[in-house]
Amino acid sequence: MVSIMKHTVEVMIPESEIKARIAELGRQINEHYQNSGSEMVLVGLLRGSFMFMADLCREVQVPHEVDFMTASSYGSGMSTTRDVKILKDLDEDIRGKDVLIVEDIIDSGNTLSKVREILSLREPKSLAICTLLDKPSRREVNVPVEYVGFRDSG
């Protein structure tokens, strides 16, 4: 158990295991993009991805830029149809670049699916997703995830 801001939470994955898995994700990403010949951009979805993004950037040895987006998903009631509002957009043009969206947790997939759609319209050379924790049992929208740290089976 760990105390965070007066709340006690159970540690589900030990820190050493998280660090090892992020190092492995970095190795996979390096291997995949090492001969791409294109600029690479890691796009962190704020605010949740910030710490994971920093750790992942230390492991990605392929030359890359870092950029951030903030998106908000909203809808009426229990509807799975959600509108996504971009609160902070990318600072750089991604046309012709290898883009890796970095997210901490993928749950319903609603916001991430829309962000992926928005970014694909900007004509990147490639577009992939990396997450620290994937929760496929909670998915409402099918979204391809190329790099997964941990998968929650419950």
Cα separation, 34 vs 29, whole angstroms: 8
Active site residue 83: no
Phi/psi region, residue 33 (left: phi>0; alpha: psi -120 to 50; beta: rest), is alpha
- SS3 call for 117: helix
Cβ-based neighbour number of residue 46 at 10 Å: 13
Cβ-contact 146, 129 below 8 angstroms: yes
Catalytic pick among 55, 67, 107, 152: 107
| Helical (H) or strand (E) element with 98 | strand 98-106
List, by residue number, the catalytic residues: 107
